[in-house]
A and B are shown apart, each in its own frame.
Chain A
């Protein structure tokens, strides 16, 4: 990667509440906000911080499956509904399964680099509680290869895909220790989420999270090697952030200390029609992270905080190895050592990640960027972790499908 022709920043992040089971205000039988409300809330949350819609040159929206969850396509045309001044401006919707948000960020970054825009309003959204989980599993199954995999796949297609990875991992590296790491991962996720008001697990009061997470899997009602505690939840949420140039920051009147600079990224695509060559590795994730770190000129040891794509606890474990923090088979030890907890060496998923904060699939990539921005600019409030000056870097890893589309981004506070 040649050096970018100009600097790119992110600022003015906003996350809505992640609504779904676990939140007190969630009632599946009562009407809830829809796509329109989430897009508007998140978009306006960002616009308010940058001084309004007239500061924006372009809009990008990441979303996975509104066409099925909400019977709604053409989401880019909702961007002008956020603010009247956005009408007649270029807007685009991008999709790459659960990496839609990450692709949205990359699209915005490229607009800034192309110098067609100095301020890009980037939104990610998914509203999934419109159907029962068993039908939601069909919809999310679209992140796999429908013709090639769906018929012979499991009712819970994606949980089963990652369960199978867990099964092979258990076989190769030991079941008990790995399940303990899953349980620790769950505990860290929920404990972090309890500190963040927008998190789906904010109201969680379970006294012994690790014991709960050690519940044995029930293959008859779910999948072979994972339980519901190993899975991210069904979430309705949106997130927004402004992707800007230096000029854009000035236009928005935002000091550099309140922005993060994008130092490197890796946007990697694998072949949807091919199974993973090694189920115990996230190869695409590893490649994306490697690229992003190399571009930023740092190593994994320089990271101060990470938002990884823990759609399942096993993805959390495999992420340790893909990012390069643990050797093959040692991801569980790294997690059990406490290194990823909020007081550990590299706090991961500081407001809960996909398991604790929630996983509005197409919105998650943007939510991760907002979380990193909160941490690096000291805006995280009760869930703020310490970012040491010698390790000032943040990393977000957004994965689509079964490790098929991955966007990894390295950030540092701009000023």
Chain B
């Protein structure tokens, strides 16, 4: 079975979710391109987009139409060529419309898991819940006589564990997209020891065709991305707990969030990132890691407490941010949650006092956006962090400690064998998290 054969009948589980919808989009585009290849004339490609929510599937179709249209508009040159033989399609608009129709036509939204029984390739992107994943994969495996290959989008669960529990005999590989899959360049590919080599080859080819940057991660819970992120976030939470007595909870969250964003030149503060991923998702991932990694305490009572209070973060169906640690107005943090009073305190009421405590940023500070776009990025960062290190302010000192801790996490991932090299860790943070620099760096030494 060659690459195109494998993609002739695909099932995506959790198709209408945040990750699933992106996977459906990218895979459908790839399948459509295959179907337009004259070599594949007459073949029918089908993508079964499976989700428990019928309402969410309706939203998925809308999302896909809009996204495929955007993609088509960008690649009209290639599409004009692909539809060369269709005499009736002359103008860009006609060709673009036809392409959108062709892509959407191969997607079959359904709430029935049985739709996966003919699939030769199954993408799994359901909740980060090991039992749920095992249950669904087992049901498909039982009903599908085609011995399908499974690609799981898990961001933390060891692949070998899923392989063993479902009894796939190596027909599974970790293919972890970053959110949103259509935009993020990074894919962590996780091969279990048992993973079939042909499947690993396929995953490599598929990632390449999608023009993704692949970083291989060892099959250990959390992999590289969450291996760093979870520890980084727990450190932030521990810092909040330290600051709490003097500055109060909301002040402490504001301070740590600001340090991780502005002082460390990151695209967003650590609590904004936790909100973006979702507190509940973080809780799931921490549990997966905590249960499986020896000698590690990866748990947060604070997260449990906030989730208990209904503070979950994540995104609405339209992609806008739900409130979590922070409250958002037009996508920007506007308040901080106070679990005692169970209300959001406006940042305007917190900032002045907290900022005074943190002290001013060195004059060489530049926002993340300006730094990532600058051609002389390393020089800018070096100068800024040098100033930061010589700065005596509380903010600067906390930031330098944070930077060092982040580096230690990165080095720990290499030492534990999760990442093959420090460069792989840096690539994950640079491309998957959009950091301006990798955690393993000399800036804070």
Query: Which of B76, B80, B92 gathers the greatest number of chain A CB atoms within 10 Å?
Result: B92
Give the complex CA separation of A220 and B211 in angstroms.
15
Give the complex CA separation of A145 and B90 in angstroms.
12
Is B77 in contact with A134, judged by CB distance below 8 angstroms? Answer: no
Would you give the 0/1 interface string for A114-136, flagging 1 where the beta carbon is closer than 8 Å to chain B?
A: 00000000000000000010110
Nearest A residue to B78, CB-CB: A220
Inter-chain contacts of B93 with A (CB < 8 A): 135, 138
**A151 on interface, CB distance cutoff 8 Å:** yes
Inter-chain contacts of B87 with A (CB < 8 A): 151
Give the complex CA separation of A154 and B76 in angstroms.
9
Is A141 in contact with B77, judged by CB distance below 8 angstroms? Answer: no
Which size class do A's interface residues fall under?
10 to 19
Give the complex CA separation of A134 and B73 in angstroms.
7
Nearest A residue to B94, CB-CB: A138
Nearest A residue to B91, CB-CB: A138
The total of chain B residues at the interface (CB under 8 A) is 11
Inter-chain contacts of A155 with B (CB < 8 A): 76-77, 80, 92
Inter-chain contacts of B80 with A (CB < 8 A): 154-155
Give the complex CA separation of A138 and B93 in angstroms.
7
Question: Secondary structure at chain B's binding surface: helix, strand, loop or mixed?
Answer: helix
**A277 on interface, CB distance cutoff 8 Å:** no
Inter-chain contacts of B76 with A (CB < 8 A): 134, 155
Would you give the 0/1 interface string for A145-183, flagging 1 where the beta carbon is closer than 8 Å to chain B?
A: 010001100110000000000000000000000000000
Give the complex CA separation of A137 and B76 in angstroms.
11
B84 to chain A, nearest CB (A): 8
Query: Which of B76, B87, B90, B91 gathers the greatest number of chain A CB atoms within 10 Å?
Result: B91
Query: Which of A132, A137, A150, A155 gathers the greatest number of chain B CB atoms within 10 Å?
Result: A155
Nearest B residue to A157, CB-CB: B92
Is A132 in contact with B91, judged by CB distance below 8 angstroms? Answer: no
Give the complex CA separation of A273 and B189 in angstroms.
55
Nearest A residue to B95, CB-CB: A155
Is A141 in contact with B91, judged by CB distance below 8 angstroms? Answer: yes
Q: Given A132-B73, A134-B76: A151 and B90 within 8 A (CB)?
A: yes
Give the complex CA separation of A138 and B73 in angstroms.
12
Give the complex CA separation of A151 and B81 in angstroms.
10
- Indicate which residue in A132, A138, A154 contacts B77 across the interface (CB closer than 8 Å): A154
B57-102 interface (Cβ within 8 A of A): 73-74, 76-77, 80, 87, 90-93, 96
Give the complex CA separation of A150 and B93 in angstroms.
13
Nearest B residue to A138, CB-CB: B91
Is B91 in contact with A150, judged by CB distance below 8 angstroms? Answer: yes
B114-157 interface (Cβ within 8 A of A): none
**A221 on interface, CB distance cutoff 8 Å:** yes
Inter-chain contacts of A151 with B (CB < 8 A): 87, 90
- Indicate which residue in B77, B90, B91, B92 contacts A221 across the interface (CB closer than 8 Å): B77
Query: Which of A135, A151, A154 gathers the greatest number of chain B CB atoms within 10 Å?
Result: A151
Give the complex CA separation of A221 and B77 in angstroms.
7
Is A135 in contact with B92, judged by CB distance below 8 angstroms? Answer: yes
Give the complex CA separation of A132 and B93 in angstroms.
11
Inter-chain contacts of A132 with B (CB < 8 A): 73
B66 to chain A, nearest CB (A): 14
Give the complex CA separation of A151 and B96 in angstroms.
14
Give the complex CA separation of A151 and B80 in angstroms.
9
Inter-chain contacts of A137 with B (CB < 8 A): 92
Nearest B residue to A135, CB-CB: B93
Inter-chain contacts of B91 with A (CB < 8 A): 138, 141, 150
B324 to chain A, nearest CB (A): 29
B252-266 interface (Cβ within 8 A of A): none
Give the complex CA separation of A70 and B96 in angstroms.
21
B178-197 interface (Cβ within 8 A of A): none
Inter-chain contacts of A221 with B (CB < 8 A): 74, 77
Is A134 in contact with B92, judged by CB distance below 8 angstroms? Answer: yes
Give the complex CA separation of A369 and B92 in angstroms.
34
Give the complex CA separation of A135 and B73 in angstroms.
9
Is A220 in contact with B73, judged by CB distance below 8 angstroms? Answer: no
Inter-chain contacts of A134 with B (CB < 8 A): 73, 76, 92, 96
Inter-chain contacts of B77 with A (CB < 8 A): 154-155, 220-221
Give the complex CA separation of A244 and B73 in angstroms.
47
A119 to chain B, nearest CB (A): 41
Would you give the 0/1 interface string for B211-224, flagging 1 where the beta carbon is closer than 8 Å to chain A?
A: 00000000000000
B199 to chain A, nearest CB (A): 31
Is B90 in contact with A150, judged by CB distance below 8 angstroms? Answer: yes
Give the complex CA separation of A150 and B91 in angstroms.
7
Give the complex CA separation of A141 and B92 in angstroms.
10
A213-228 interface (Cβ within 8 A of B): 220-221
Inter-chain contacts of B90 with A (CB < 8 A): 146, 150-151
B85 to chain A, nearest CB (A): 11
Q: What are 12 A-B pairs at a CB distance below 8 A?
A: A135-B92, A135-B93, A137-B92, A138-B91, A138-B92, A138-B93, A141-B91, A150-B90, A151-B87, A154-B77, A155-B92, A220-B77
Besides A132-B73, A220-B77, 5 new A-B residue pairs in contact (Cβ under 8 A), listed by A number: A134-B96, A138-B93, A146-B90, A150-B91, A155-B76
* Chain B interfacial positions (CB closer than 8 Å to A): 73-74, 76-77, 80, 87, 90-93, 96
Ordered nearest first, which 4 A-B pairs have the shortest CB separation?
A155-B76, A138-B91, A151-B90, A138-B92
